[in-house]
A and B are shown apart, each in its own frame.
Chain A
Amino acid sequence: MNLSQFNKILRQVFLLPVLALLVVAGALYLQIRGANATVNLIQDADARISQATLVAKLVADEESGLRGYETTGDLRFLQPFTDAESQLQHEIANLDSIAGSDAEQRRDVVDMRSELQTWHDGFALPVIATVRGGGKTDAVDLNLHGKQLMDEVRQDLGDITQKAEQSRTRRIELWHRQVHTMLMVLLGLALVVGVLIGLFTRNRLHAVSAAYRLSLEVLGRRAEELYRSEQQLRTTLDSIADGVITCDAKGRIQMMNPVARELTGWGLTDANGQPLEKVFCIINEVSREPIETPVAKVKRLDRVVGIANHTTLIRKDGTELSIADSGAPLRDQKGEITGIVLVFRDITMERKTQEALIANEKLAVAGRLAATIAHEIHNPLDSVSNLLYLMRHGATAEEQAQFMDMAEQELMRVTQISRAMLGLYRESKAPVVVDLKGMLQEILLLLERRLAELEVTATTQIPSTISVAAFPAELRQVFTNLITNAAEAAGPGGEVKISIAPQTDGVDGAGQKLAPGAVVTIADDGPGIAEEVRPHLFQPFFTTKGERGTGLGLWVSRGIINKHGGTLTLESDANNSAHGTVARVFLATNPVINAGGD
Chain B
Amino acid sequence: MNESSNLVLCVDDEQIGLRVRKILLERAGYRVLTAQDGRSALEIFSVEPVEAVVLDYSMPGMDGGEVAVKMRESKPDVPILLLSAYLDLPPEVTSLVALYMTKGEGAPALLTNLNNLLQPVSASQ
Contact = CB atoms under 8 A, between A and B. Distances in A.
Contact of A383 (B13, B17, B86): B17
Interface string B84-125: 011100000000000000111011100000000000000000
A449 B58 contact: yes
B14 interface: yes
B107 A386 contact: yes
A397 to B, nearest CB: 16
A520 B115 CA distance: 53
Nearest to B56: A379
A386 B14 contact: no
Given A452-B60, A453-B58, A379 B107 contact: no
B37 to A, nearest CB: 10
Interface centre among B13, B17, B21 (most CB of A within 10 A): B17
Interface in A357-381: 371, 374-376, 378-381
A382 B85 contact: yes
A385 B58 contact: no
B58 A375 contact: yes
Contacts of A375: 58, 85-86
A61 B85 CA distance: 181
Nearest to B18: A383
A383 B104 CA distance: 8
Interface of A is mostly: helix
Nearest to A378: B85
A378 B102 CA distance: 9
B106 A389 contact: yes
Contacts of A390: 20, 23-24, 27, 107
B85 A410 contact: no
A409 interface: yes
Given A378-B103, A383-B17, A406-B20, A371 B86 contact: yes
Nearest to B108: A389
A385 B102 contact: no
Interface centre among B20, B86, B108 (most CB of A within 10 A): B20
A85 interface: no
Contact of A382 (B23, B27, B61, B103): B103
Interface of B is mostly: loop
A152 interface: no
Nearest to B60: A452
Given A375-B58, A452-B60, A453-B58, A382 B104 contact: yes
B16 interface: yes
A406 B14 CA distance: 12
User: Which of under 10, 10 to 19, 20 to 34, or 35 or more describes the interface residues of A?
Assistant: 20 to 34
Interface centre among A374, A378, A380, A390 (most CB of B within 10 A): A378
Contacts of B108: 389
B75 interface: no
Contacts of B70: none
Interface string A479-496: 000000000000010000
A224 to B, nearest CB: 71
A284 B8 CA distance: 70
A493 to B, nearest CB: 9
Contact of B16 (A378, A410, A453): A410
A387 B20 contact: yes
A385 B104 contact: yes
Interface in B43-93: 58-61, 63, 85-87
Nearest to B14: A379
B107 A385 contact: yes
A17 B19 CA distance: 130
Contacts of A385: 104, 106-107
Nearest to B25: A386
A288 interface: no
Interface string A416-454: 000000000000000000000000000000000100110
A341 B107 CA distance: 77
A393 interface: yes
A380 B13 CA distance: 12
Contacts of B60: 452-453, 455
A380 B16 CA distance: 8
13 contacts: A371-B86, A375-B85, A378-B85, A381-B103, A382-B104, A386-B107, A389-B108, A390-B27, A452-B60, A453-B58, A453-B63, A455-B61, A492-B61
Given A386-B17, A455-B60, 15 more contacts: A371-B86, A375-B85, A376-B85, A378-B85, A379-B14, A379-B103, A382-B85, A385-B106, A386-B21, A386-B24, A386-B107, A390-B107, A406-B19, A453-B63, A455-B61
Q: Which 10 A-B pairs have the closest CB atoms?
A: A378-B85, A389-B107, A382-B103, A375-B85, A452-B60, A383-B17, A386-B20, A383-B20, A379-B14, A386-B107
